[in-house]
Amino acid sequence: MRVQVGIIGGGPAGLLLSQILHRGGVDNVVLEARSRAYVLARIRAGVLEWGSVEVLRGAGVGERMDREGHVHDSIGIAWSGRELFLIDTNQYAGRPMMAYGQTNITEDLYAARDAMGGVVIDEAEDVRPQDIDGERPYLTYRKGGELRRVDCDFIAGCDGFHGVSRGCIPGSVLHSVEKVYPFGWLGVLSETPPLDEIIYARHARGFALASQRNPMLSRYYIQCPLDTKIEDWPDDKFWAELKARFPPEIAKRIVTGPSIEKSIAPLRSFVAEPMRHGRLFLAGDAAHIVPPTGAKGLNLAISDVFYLSRALIEHYKGKGRYLESYSDMALRRVWSAARFSWWLTMLLHRFPDQTEFDERARESELDYLSRSEHAKRSLCEQYAGLPFEN
């Protein structure tokens, strides 16, 4: 097979890139290691920045999102012993957010790819980028025991944190920066009506978060130790712990019910630089991971794809400037989201070794946030998402 762009990974980054390139006249193929059913069963992010909403609309996959997604403009911070503190992103940053699950986005992207006749090869084993330093890179993979080859002009590594692409960049070129946090998030999805707002709770027992997918689907998280086992968290215990971390007037509004999914994600910050080597370009979790506290992981995957698709489409029109600046431009946004996610994680979580000083400094920071218009504006500007560069 010969295509202009070979894409590794059929998660949100790879599928969206494929969709935008196809609409821009650039032919491509997606090689995904897992089955489609497996990819569609993953429950992950849920909050979209307005810039992401516009990229999805522009890619022709906004219809269901606009129908079923929930536009909201307030984020709440509940701090034990204080009044709930709501910040309006519309007021302070001029734009709302959209609650729409990553699972739905992936479904919409698969449907759009099918409708346009896009090629997504699932259960592609042992995918390997080859000759990324040369003029004629190619991909090899196995399907049903047979070795296959895709020749291409460029390779896009959209294969997530555990993918194969990042490791193809020589160690002498690739620089990785990492911070691992001493806890994870235990997440539960339940078919119950969510709270009206997305509320982040800081509590002596640990962090908790109330989020939503649709009017009858709620997503909740609690901070947990890294060695937590899901079997040790039956639903009743989860709900009791969740409610204990919210102020009583909010806890009593949480509607409980059987969980339909439960999973644990460790928290980490990770950035690999540069995001391009030769003819290989990295996008999404393949290049960076942020702790979910700022709801930035999926939004960064979308902004990388926005920059990369623009660069490739312009390249084929004979204008090459964005291809050269892709890595620097994407990394500026990545680092601002990495910093913001780290800051919100440090502010809202309980750390095993925290001192009284750490706690008092956090309280003072919250006081500042609740009193200062500048601080609110800064939080909202970053939470609602910085604009894309031209």
What six digits make up the tokens of 300? 């960064």
- CB closer to ligand PHB, 213 vs 362: 213
- Residue 293's binding partner among ligand PHB, ligand RFL, none (Cβ under 5 to 8 angstroms by kind) is ligand PHB
Shortest Å distance, C-beta 383 to ligand RFL: 12
Is 129 noted as a catalytic residue in this protein?
A: no
Q: What is the rounded CA–CA span in Å between residue 191 and residue 255?
A: 10
Shortest Å distance, C-beta 348 to ligand RFL: 14
- Residue 301's binding partner among ligand PHB, ligand RFL, none (Cβ under 5 to 8 angstroms by kind) is ligand RFL
- Give the binding range for ligand PHB (CB under 6 A) out of 168-176, 253-261, 289-297, 363-371: 289-297
Is 292 noted as a catalytic residue in this protein?
A: yes
Is 200 noted as a catalytic residue in this protein?
A: yes
Q: What is the rounded CA–CA span in Å between residue 103 and residue 382?
A: 24
Query: Is 211 a residue that touches ligand PHB (CB under 6 A)?
Result: yes
Shortest Å distance, C-beta 390 to ligand PHB: 28
Which of 6, 9, 11, 46 touches ligand PHB by CB under 6 A?
46
Is 277 noted as a catalytic residue in this protein?
A: no
Catalytic residue among 12, 22, 72, 315: 72
Which of 3, 5, 7, 8 touches ligand RFL by CB under 6 A?
8
- Give residues in contact with ligand PHB (CB under 6 A): 45-47, 198, 211, 219, 292-293, 295
